[in-house]
Structure 1
Amino acid sequence: MLWKNRRASGNVIDRRGAGGLGIGGLIVGAIIYYFMGGNPAEYVAQNSGGMQRQEVTRENDDQKKFVSVVLADTEDVWNALFKNNNLTYQEPRLVLFKNSVLSACGRASSAVGPFYCPGDQQVYLDLSFFNQMEQALGASGDFATAYVIAHEVGHHVQNLLGIEKSFRQKMEQVSERERNKLSVIMELQADCLAGVW
C-alpha cells in the first residue's frame, strides 16, 4: 500500500509512552480510593504499571504514521459519504496504547485486541496486536493492518447511525444464544462497512 507522503489524520492520540498517572496522580487516586473503602496499596499496584516509558523506535514511529494515514483515508471516505446524505460525520479518535488502557468503556488490556468504545467514540489499538496477528494467523502486511482499523471505524459508523444502540437494546431482550447471533451480525456489518473504505 502506497502511504508515505499522504495526508495523516490529526485524530491519533499516542499513549504508548505516557507515564501512566504519574506519582502525583497515584497519590491522589490512592487517597480517593481509601475514602471509598478501598485499600490504597491495591490501587497503586493496579495503576502503576504504566510508569515505565516505552522506547519509541523507528519501527513503531513508522507504524504510527501508517495508522494515521489509514485513519485519514477512512475520514475522507466517511466524510464524503455522510455529506452526500446530508449528514455530518464526527471523526473518531484513534488511541495507541501499550499493554492496557482506560476508556469510557472501562479498562482493557492488549489481550482484547483492537476495540471501539461508543462511550468516548474512540478506537483503541495496541500495535503489538499486528505482530500477534501475523504469528497466529499469518496475516501480515499493510492491508491487514489497514483493514483492522477500517473495521473498528465501521463500529464508529454503526454508533453514529444509531445501529449500535439498536443492537444493544435488542440484546437486552433476548436469550444468550440470540445475543451471540446479534453480536456476530454486528461484527459482520462492521466488516461490510470496512469494505466501503
Structure 2
Amino acid sequence: MPNYAGPPPGAPFGPRFSPYVAKKSNTGVIVAVAIFAIVALTGGLVAAVALIGGSSRHVADAGYSSTYPTSTYATETTTSTTETTSSTEEPTTTRPARTTERETPASQTPSGPRSVAATGNNPLFARPNYGLENIPCSLSRWASDQASVERFFRSGIGCLDAMWSRMLGAVDLPFETPKLAVPRSLSESSTPCGSGGTTTGVTPFYCPTNNTIYMPMDRIELDVWGNHPGPYLSILAHEYGHHVQNLSGISEAYGNQRYDAGADSAAGLELSRRMELEAQCFSGMFLGSASVSGGSVDKNIYNEAWNAQDRGDDYARNGKRDHGTAQHNIAWWQHGATTNRNQQCNTWLSASADVS
C-alpha cells in the first residue's frame, strides 16, 4: 500500500503549513517533516477537545446515505501500481447477485476517466504529495434566509469544484459537479435515498443515487451557529467529500464491503466510521487550502470551522456508532486542514483504534 504517516495527531492551533498542489508530474512540496515527527511521537490520536474551549455546541452530524447504487461511471477493481506491496482490504466473500444491476458490454464502455472501486488503494492515494491546489474561493455573503443560504452553498460548491476537479483529473478519475437541494425542511423534498439513510433523516446528507447534496434549513443548526459561515461551509465540504468518494469509486467499494460485513455489524459500523472520518478529513483539506488562497475564506471563517468539529456519535440521534467519536471527528478534520495531503486522509489504512 502507499506509505502512510499514521493516525492524525490533534493538530496544534497556530501557524499551518502551506497547502500543496497536486500534479501528475510528482512536482510539489513534500509533507513537512514536523507532521511526521508529531505522528512518530504520539503514535496515535491526541485529544483535541481543549481546542473547542469547553463549548457544548456542535455541527450537525453530517451523513452519507446507506443507499449504494450502481455508479454512473463504468468501474474497474484494480490495485495501485505505485508504492504498493499488498492489500488486505478487499473482501473475497461472494455476494448474491443484485438484480437491479447490469454489466455494461465492453463495446458500450464509455470513454474517458473511470472510477476505480477501491478504498485504501484508490488512485487518490497513489502519491504522498497529492493534495488540493490553492485556488481563491469567492463565497456569496452568508445570511440566514433561505435564498441567501442557497446562494452561499452554491458558491461554496463552485469553490469545491475548482479544487477537486483538478485533483481528480490529475489522477485520471471522473468529475462532475453535484446537485444541491436547500429545502426549508426535508419533508418538502423527495429523495431516492429516503430521509438520510444511516442518519435517519436528522442531518444534511449526500445522496449518491441522484448525485445531490441535501442541506435542509431545519438541519444545519441555524440556532446554534447564527451568522458565522465557517461551520456551514465545513458541513458542505464534508458532504462534498462524500461526493468525491462516490466519483472516485471509494463509495462503491465501501458499499460492497459493508454489504458483505453486515451494515450494523461491528465490522460494518467500523467501515461506516472510516467513510465518515475520511469525509471529515477531506473537509479540513478544503478549508485549510482555501484559507491561504487569498479569497473569501479568511482566517475568521477558518477559525470558526476549526472550532466546530465536535460532531460524531456523541451527538448521534440514531443510536449507532457509525460516525466516530467527537474527538476523532475533531482530529481527522484538523489533520486534513494542516496537511492537505490525500494520503493523510486515508482512514482505510488506519488502526481500528483511530476510527472508533
TM (normalized to structure 2)? 0.37
Counterpart of 1:42 in structure 2 is none
Alignment of 1:3 with 2:139, yes or no, is: yes
Whole-Å separation in 2 of the counterparts to 1:87 and 1:192:
20
Q: Report which stretch shifted further, 73-82 or 93-102.
A: 93-102
What is the identity, as a one-letter code, of the residue corresponding to 2:246?
N
What is the identity, as a one-letter code, of the residue corresponding to 2:213?
V
Whole-Å separation in 1 of the counterparts to 2:200 and 2:253:
28
User: Relative to structure 1, is the Cα distance of residues 87 and 174 closer, same or farther in structure 2, using a 3 angstrom cutoff?
Assistant: closer
Report the alpha carbon displacement of residue 87 of structure 1 after superposing the two structures with TM: 3.2
Counterpart of 2:191 in structure 1 is 103
What is the identity, as a one-letter code, of the residue corresponding to 2:266?
R
Whole-Å separation in 2 of the counterparts to 1:127 and 1:83:
33
- Give structure 2 stretches of 5+ with no counterpart: 1-136, 287-356
% identical aligned pairs = 24
Alignment of 1:66 with 2:152, yes or no, is: yes
1:124-135 aligned within 5 A: 124-131=214-221, 134-135=223-224
Pairing partner for 1:180 from 269, 282, 286? 269
Q: Report which stretch shifted further, 167-176 or 186-195.
A: 167-176
Alignment of 1:145 with 2:232, yes or no, is: yes
Kindly report the root-mean-square deviation, in angstroms, between the aligned alpha carbons of the 2 structures.
Answer: 2.8
Superimposed CA distance per residue, residues 40-59 of structure 1 (whole angstroms, 9 cap, x where no aligned partner): xxxxxxxxxxxxxxxxx982
Counterpart of 1:113 in structure 2 is 203
User: Relative to structure 1, is the Cα distance of residues 110 and 145 closer, same or farther in structure 2, using a 3 angstrom cutoff?
Assistant: farther
Alignment of 1:87 with 2:176, yes or no, is: no
**SS of match in other structure, 1:94:** strand
Whole-Å separation in 1 of the counterparts to 2:267 and 2:226:
30
Whole-Å separation in 2 of the counterparts to 1:66 and 1:140:
12
Q: Is the 8 A contact 2:183 2:215 kept in 1?
A: yes
Aligned residue-pair number: 143
- Give structure 1 stretches of 5+ with no counterpart: 6-56
Q: Which has a greater percent of helix?
A: 1
Report the alpha carbon displacement of residue 2 of structure 1 after superposing the two structures with TM: 6.9
**SS of match in other structure, 2:190:** strand
Whole-Å separation in 1 of the counterparts to 2:144 and 2:268:
43
Q: Which has a greater percent of strand?
A: 1
Q: Is the 8 A contact 1:110 1:126 kept in 2?
A: no
What is the identity, as a one-letter code, of the residue corresponding to 1:3?
L
Q: Is the 8 A contact 1:95 1:122 kept in 2?
A: yes
TM (normalized to structure 1)? 0.63
Answer 1 or 2: higher relative contact order, Cα 8 Å, separation at least 6: 2
Whole-Å separation in 1 of the counterparts to 2:158 and 2:208:
20
